[in-house]
C-alpha cells in the first residue's frame, strides 16, 4: 500500500495486517479496499487495462484505482497520475 510522508509517497510492505488480512488488495479489484497499491498505480498509468481478468473472475476498475490515488494526490497537491508515477517508478525518491 502507498503511504504519504512529508513530500514523499512510499509503498508499504505487505507484512502487516490490513483489515485482518496479511496481503492488501488493490482498490481496482472492487474488493472493498481503498488504499492505493502498485497495481492501482499500474491501472491509472494504463499498464493494466480496465477489463475483466482471470478468465472473467476478476474485474479491474480504472475509476476505483484513480479514487484510491486521490487521498495522496490531495495531500501532496499533485495529480493522481503523478502519485501513480511516483509509486511505480523504482528510481523515484517516492517509490
- pLDDT over threshold 60, residue 81: yes
C-alpha cell at 1: 500500500
Tell me the mean pLDDT in the region 25-45: 87
| pTM exceeds 0.75 for this model | no
pLDDT at 58 over 70: yes
With a cut of 50, say whether residue 14 has pLDDT above it.
no
Which of 45, 47, 27, 29 is closest to 37 using CA atoms? 27
Average pLDDT rounded to a whole number, residues 18-39: 77
Amino acid at each position: 500500500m502507498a503511504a504519504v510522508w512529508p513530500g514523499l509517497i512510499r509503498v508499504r510492505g505487505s507484512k502487516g495486517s490490513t483489515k485482518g488480512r496479511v496481503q492488501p488488495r488493490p482498490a481496482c479489484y472492487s474488493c472493498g479496499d481503498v488504499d492505493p497499491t502498485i497495481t492501482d498505480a499500474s491501472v491509472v498509468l494504463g499498464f493494466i487495462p480496465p477489463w475483466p481478468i482471470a478468465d472473467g473472475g476478476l474485474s479491474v476498475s480504472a475509476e476505483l484505482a484513480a479514487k484510491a490515488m486521490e487521498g495522496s494526490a490531495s495531500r501532496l497537491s499533485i495529480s493522481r497520475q503523478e502519485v501513480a508515477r511516483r509509486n511505480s517508478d523504482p528510481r523515484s525518491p517516492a517509490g
